Amino acid sequence: MTRFPPEPNGYLHIGHAKSICLNFGIAQDYPGGICHLRFDDTNPTTEDPEYVQAIQDDVRWLGFDWDGKMFYASDYFHQLYDYAIRLITKGRAYVDSLTADQIREYRGTLTEPGQNSPYRDRSVSENLDLFQRMRAGEFADGTHVLRAKIDMASPNINLRDPVLYRIRHTAHYRTGTTWCIYPAYDYAHPLSDAIEGITHSLCTLEFEDHRPLYDWVVEQAEPPHRPEQIEFARLNITHTVMSKRRLLELVEKKLVVGWDDPRLPTIKGLRRRGYTPEAIRAFCEHIGVAKRDAVVEMQLLEHFIREDLNKGAQRVMAVLRPLKIVIENYPQGQVEELDAINNPEDPSAGTRKVPFSRVLFIEQDDFREDPPKQFFRLAPGREVRLRYAYIIKCVGVTKDPQTGEIIELRCMYDPDTKSGSSKEQRKVKATIHWVSAIHAADAEVRLYNPLLTIDLAKVPPDQDWTTYLNSQSLERITGCRIEPSLKHATPGSRYQFERLGYFCVDPDSSPGTAVFNRTVPLKDPWARIDKSQQPR
């Protein structure tokens, strides 16, 4: 029996996905295995029902089901209180009345032992009386705490009489004002596991030093069942942020559009960006579970979404930065409906019709007036194939007389080179995508780049990390032209724009203008060649 124990103080991210795949996955791997979804909601100041709902949505979307086993640590407040009474009665816990600062001073350091609090030797009856009065609301926040009585000289600081309960006169989103004392994580977590009968409590490595405390709590409180804590390395990914505190900061300061901003590694952000649950699960499976912290390259996550979409996404043609071309020898007013393959990886996806006419748009990048070596696309006097259509030749370049900017290309097509026809014998070095000008629809395309310019670990501690946010993380391109079959694409649908990458329809789309998020580019061999030729 495992559990996934999120605190409902933010949205889930890809790191949580690793924990979800591990906990739910292990339960699936063993006959009779069960994984609980438990909201670890013992901190009234930061938790919110909005997050409770979003977390359930995300776990389901990732493809997991808790089979009715959804729990809240706040449901155990009574039992946790009773266990505290037991600890006090056994002489294993006491009420301390030092201030938070004094407690810190008395705690000692990694090299020096701590000192006992002057209140450590209060009698059981005095402790019981004070703790009951703490619970009854007689004392102000911070005046008393309940502490475990373990060992102030322990080399493990977590065992130097850790705080078990604090007074907080703050309403909780579920229990309201019933409680004004709240249990600490290190106390509530092992006992919640024990109450639920969890056998394997899988948590991240930073809790390794807390394991002796976990075991102490279970041993001293004597619940009917004994869980075991096992640690694994948390997932870290380059050039992004994962901690909920930082994600919340981005959302609250409006540095991103919300928790579902496609630049964020949140489950909602990845989903809006076009990621599939299958790709995320395959990624988590691949990275595996280890005992040592490591940082995974963002490219690895991208690899898995590319693999998945390559199998399933329909291919379409879209031009992000349009350059008009006029085919001089193609009859005015004529339209041909050409057959285009929907997915070469999946013959059952069939074909669709794409209109071809005299005036088309191609990508500005697919033309160079003065082509460098190894550039095989369109250039004056050169030929390329238009995907699913004909070979064309550029015979002229029309420029704005004032600015010199290219307005359109004049081209000639070779009617004997239609794709799929028996006469299609001639070969050219490049095939480019296009759309028919009068048939194309308008679109906005959003390209995403890494959120941070450097890795978080490299940000100097005295600096505000948000100064390293990448100002180019979002690039909005308007005036894109898309093939007419995309006019009625619904939010969430995913496509491969031929030669450009994978794109997903954003909920910001309106009937006149579709908005597409680039999930991930295709690998672009030319970009590599181009870069390698730049002076170093």
CA 23 to chain centre: 18
Q: Pick the binder of ligand ATP from 2, 6, 319, 447 (CB under 6 A).
A: 6
Query: Near ligand ATP by CB under 6 A, which window of 12-20, 87-95, 374-382, 420-428?
Result: 12-20
- Nearest approach in angstroms of CB 166 to ligand ATP is 18
If one asks whether residue 533 binds ligand ATP (CB under 6 A), the answer comes out as no
- Nearest approach in angstroms of CB 10 to ligand ATP is 7
Counting residues that bind ligand ATP (by CB under 6 A) gives: 16
Q: Which two tokens stand for residue 521?
A: 């580019």
If one asks whether residue 16 binds ligand ATP (CB under 6 A), the answer comes out as yes
Q: Measured between alpha carbons, how far is 301 from 311 in angstroms, rounded to an integer?
A: 16
Place of tokens 């020898």: 329
Q: Pick the binder of ligand ATP from 115, 204, 310, 357 (CB under 6 A).
A: 204
If one asks whether residue 25 binds ligand ATP (CB under 6 A), the answer comes out as no
If one asks whether residue 244 binds ligand ATP (CB under 6 A), the answer comes out as yes
* Complete DSSP assignment for 321-373: SEEEEEETTSPTT--EEEEEES-TT-GGG-EEEEEE-SEEEEEGGGB-SSPPT
- Indicate the residue type of 322: P
Other Cβ atoms within 10 Å of 533 Cβ, number: 10
Q: Which of 520, 21, 15, 36 is nearest to 303 (CA)?
A: 520
Q: Measured between alpha carbons, how far is 70 from 63 in angstroms, rounded to an integer?
A: 16
Give yes or no: 244 in active site: yes
Question: What character string, x for contact with ligand ATP (CB under 6 A) and - otherwise, covers 92-121?
Answer: ------------------------------
* Count of residues in the chain: 536
Q: Which of 176, 242, 257 is nearest to 17 (CA)?
A: 242
If one asks whether residue 336 binds ligand ATP (CB under 6 A), the answer comes out as no
- Nearest approach in angstroms of CB 175 to ligand ATP is 19
If one asks whether residue 203 binds ligand ATP (CB under 6 A), the answer comes out as yes
Query: Near ligand ATP by CB under 6 A, which window of 243-251, 295-303, 426-434, 443-451?
Result: 243-251
Secondary element (H or E) of residue 274? none
C-beta closer to ligand ATP: residue 105 or 293? 293
Indicate the SS3 state at residue 72: strand
Q: Which of 13, 69, 74, 81 is nearest to 48 (CA)?
A: 74
Catalytic residue among 69, 86, 234, 353: 234
If one asks whether residue 18 binds ligand ATP (CB under 6 A), the answer comes out as yes
C-beta closer to ligand ATP: residue 241 or 354? 241
- Nearest approach in angstroms of CB 72 to ligand ATP is 13
Catalytic residue among 135, 211, 244, 315: 244
Residues between 37 and 56 with contacts to ligand ATP, criterion CB under 6 A: 40
E-assigned strands of 55-152?
70-72, 93-96, 145-148
CB distance 271 to 61 below 8 Å: yes
If one asks whether residue 223 binds ligand ATP (CB under 6 A), the answer comes out as no
Q: Pick the binder of ligand ATP from 34, 54, 195, 235 (CB under 6 A).
A: 235
Q: Pick the binder of ligand ATP from 15, 25, 33, 312 (CB under 6 A).
A: 15
Q: Measured between alpha carbons, how far is 137 from 96 in angstroms, rounded to an integer?
A: 16
Residues between 306 and 335 with contacts to ligand ATP, criterion CB under 6 A: none
If one asks whether residue 19 binds ligand ATP (CB under 6 A), the answer comes out as yes
- Nearest approach in angstroms of CB 262 to ligand ATP is 19
CB distance 3 to 37 below 8 Å: yes
> Directed axis angle between helix 77-89 and helix 124-136, to 10°?
160
- Indicate the residue type of 230: I
If one asks whether residue 242 binds ligand ATP (CB under 6 A), the answer comes out as yes
Query: Near ligand ATP by CB under 6 A, which window of 108-116, 240-248, 355-363, 486-494?
Result: 240-248
Query: Near ligand ATP by CB under 6 A, which window of 13-21, 81-89, 275-283, 499-507?
Result: 13-21
If one asks whether residue 281 binds ligand ATP (CB under 6 A), the answer comes out as no
Q: Give 117's contacts (C-beta < 8 A, 6+ positions apart).
A: 96, 98, 103, 106, 147, 161
Write the CA distances from 483 to 156, 191, 270, 436, 447, integer angstroms: 65, 59, 26, 7, 19
C-beta closer to ligand ATP: residue 259 or 375? 259
Give yes or no: 408 in active site: no
Query: Near ligand ATP by CB under 6 A, which window of 2-10, 164-172, 335-343, 426-434?
Result: 2-10
Other Cβ atoms within 10 Å of 368 Cβ, number: 14
- Dihedral (C-alpha) 454, 456, 457, 461: value to the nearest 10 degrees? 110
**Beta strand pairing call for 351-356 and 318-319:** unpaired
CB distance 166 to 133 below 8 Å: no
Give yes or no: 3 in active site: no
Place of tokens 């033309």: 367
CB distance 496 to 481 below 8 Å: no
- Nearest approach in angstroms of CB 40 to ligand ATP is 6
C-beta closer to ligand ATP: residue 134 or 191? 191
C-beta closer to ligand ATP: residue 126 or 231? 231
Indicate the SS3 state at residue 515: strand
- Nearest approach in angstroms of CB 346 to ligand ATP is 34
C-beta closer to ligand ATP: residue 19 or 436? 19
Q: Pick the binder of ligand ATP from 107, 120, 200, 234 (CB under 6 A).
A: 234
C-beta closer to ligand ATP: residue 234 or 352? 234
- Nearest approach in angstroms of CB 308 to ligand ATP is 21
CA 272 to chain centre: 10
Q: Which two tokens stand for residue 515?
A: 């908005």
Chain positions contacting ligand ATP, by CB under 6 A: 5-7, 15-16, 18-19, 40, 203-204, 234-235, 242-245
Residues with catalytic function: 7, 234, 244
